Amino acid sequence: MNDPQQPRLTPIDEWEDEAEAMLDGVEYDTELGLRMARDAIRVSNGELSDAEFHEKYHEEILEEFGEDERPTKPEGFDDD
Amino acid sequence: MTNYGLVIDQERCIGCQACAVSCKQENNVPMGQFWNRVLTEGGDKIDTPSGGYPEDGGSGSLDMQYQPTACQHCENAPCVKVCPVNATYTRDDGIVEIDYDKCIGCRYCMAACPYNARVFNWDEPEQMPEEGTGDVAARPQGVVEKCTFCSHRVDEGLDPACVVNCPADARIFGDLDDEGSTVSKYINEYETDQLLEDRGTDPKTHYISGEMSPGRPQTSDKMESELDDVSPWSDGTEDVPSDADGSDSSDSGGSHHSIEGDADPHVPAVGSGGDD
């Protein structure tokens, strides 16, 4: 069963293929979504801070979506 | 502060899919979609057993282990961190929700969720019956949706539909920040796991395995915190048996206990009406 629409646990070595399938056809940057997904897990397990994650993708998010409303924004972060 | 979580006793789970169906009904989940599934471990597909039938007089190795899976409402939710428009957010009570008015359907949250707990409405959602089911409005085409811990019920002081409708009492919902809650006591007293712990997401769903717990203590559809007394095993001094072996209650097998106080009798939340 490889239907990415259905909840299931994905072995880590299959995750990237499934993530690509989920983003297939999306009208936004697929590669950005994959990189952010990978790094979001790094944030969760402590390899990357919220602030680092926010800054790393802020410009690309703004360019792609015209806004960046992620809750990871550090205090005093300059949006401009 | 309240921090809602779920304990699922895999030793009590009988794989009946009542949680999946009641979730679908209560939350008006479209045809072809599920927020809540009971997977099996080790088989070729998500719902097939592992092992094989006895052959040629052998003993066989057929085995069916159930793995109920839905949104884990992670403390460190990757889906929340990647949402560019803050449509996916964590409520003050710990429930991870989606603001469907804000969701732009980029599906970054789906890619970031290690549990594949989210589904996307590729087409205009179809309900059966057409007017829908349950107490939640249908979500539009082009948005992502998922389990909400039945936040609309929780806000009314009721347990999630999957919890109330589990015939094996295998699902227990409550406040993880309350040391006296059943969920907290079970996590302390039984061997529990979280799914994919190495990802650091700190799910608020905990799974009991190895030794069967007494299960969900109350027979009411109200949350434990709404009841005066959920002490079916004792004189009220202790809500949950302190001995991990559960002694005389661990073999209840889904039967309901007597209950004191003003608790309502157990009334299934699922009404009539079909679904796929």
Q: What is the ipTM of this complex?
A: 0.88
User: Is residue A50 exposed (0-12), middle (13-18) or buried (19+ Cβ within 10 Å)?
Assistant: middle
Does the pLDDT of residue B186 top 70, yes or no?
yes
Q: Is residue B217 within 8 Å of B232, Cβ to Cβ?
A: yes
B239 three-class SS: coil
Q: Which is nearest to B38 in space by CA: B53, B62, B20, B61? A: B20
8 A C-beta contact, residue A64 and residue A58? no
Distance CA B14, CA B230 (A): 24
Do A19 and A32 meet the contact criterion of CB atoms below 8 Å apart?
A: no
Average pLDDT over residues A54-62: 96
**B202: nearest CA in chain A?**
A44
- DSSP labels for B86-134? S-EEE-TTS-EEE-TTT-----HHHHH-TT---EE--S----SSTT--T
pLDDT tier, B247 (very low <50, low <70, confident <90, very high otherwise): very low
| pLDDT > 90? residue B58 | no
Model confidence, pTM: 0.83
Chain segment B248-259, per-residue pLDDT in tens? 444 444 444 433
B224/B227 Cα distance (integer angstroms): 5
At the topology level, CATH places domain B4-47+64-225 in Alpha-Beta Plaits (3.30.70)
Question: Helix (H, G, I), strand (E, B), or coil: what is residue A30?
Answer: helix
What are the chain B neighbours of A61 within 8 Å (beta carbons)? 84
The predicted pLDDT at position B185 comes to 97
Residue A14 has what pLDDT?
72
CB contact under 8 A, B110 and A4: yes
DSSP conformational letter for B197: G
Whole-number pLDDT of residue B244:
44
Asked if pLDDT for residue B79 goes beyond 80, the answer is: yes
Domain boundaries, chain A: 29-66
pLDDT tens digits, one per residue of B131-182: 888 889 999 999 999 999 999 999 999 999 999 999 999 999 999 999 999 9
More confident residue, B228 or B144: B144
What residues contact residue B33 under an 8 Å CB cut-off, 6+ apart?
A: A5, B24, B119, B121, B125, B145
- A57, A32 Cβ separation under 8 angstroms: yes
Q: Is the pLDDT of residue B123 over 80?
A: yes
At residue B23 the predicted structure's pLDDT band, cuts being 50, 70 and 90, is: very high
Determine which of B67, B82, B201 to mutate to test the interface with A (most A C-beta atoms within 10 Å). B82
Is the pLDDT at B237 greater than 80? The verdict is no
Burial of residue B251 (CB within 10 Å: 0-12, 13-18, 19+) is exposed
**Domain boundary assignment for chain B:** 4-47+64-225
Determine which of B33-37, B49-53, B86-90, B107-111 has the lowest per-residue pLDDT on average.
Answer: B49-53
Asked if B108 and A69 come within 8 Å (Cβ–Cβ), the reply is no
Strands B192-193 and B88-90 come out as unpaired
Q: What is the pLDDT of residue A9?
A: 57
Give dist(CA B158, CA B1) in Å, integer. Answer: 18
The full DSSP string for B37-86 is EEEESSSSSTTS-BS----TT-----B--EEEES----TT-HHHHH-TTS
pLDDT at position B60 is 83
Q: Identify the burial level of B174 via C-beta atoms within 10 angstroms of its C-beta, where 0-12 means exposed, 13-18 middle and 19 or more buried.
A: buried
A:16-45 residues touching chain B, CB 8 A cutoff: 18-19, 22-23, 26-28, 32-34, 36-37, 40-41, 43-45
- Report which listed range, A23-37, B121-135, B217-231, is most confident: A23-37
Across residues A31-45, what is the average pLDDT?
Answer: 92
Residues of chain A neighbouring B114 (CB-CB closer than 8 A): 9-10, 15, 41
pLDDT at B257: 43
CA distance B79 to B118: 10
Query: According to the model, what pLDDT value does residue B240 have?
Result: 52
Q: State the pLDDT at residue B230.
A: 66
- Residues of B with Cβ-Cβ distance to A15 under 8 angstroms: 114
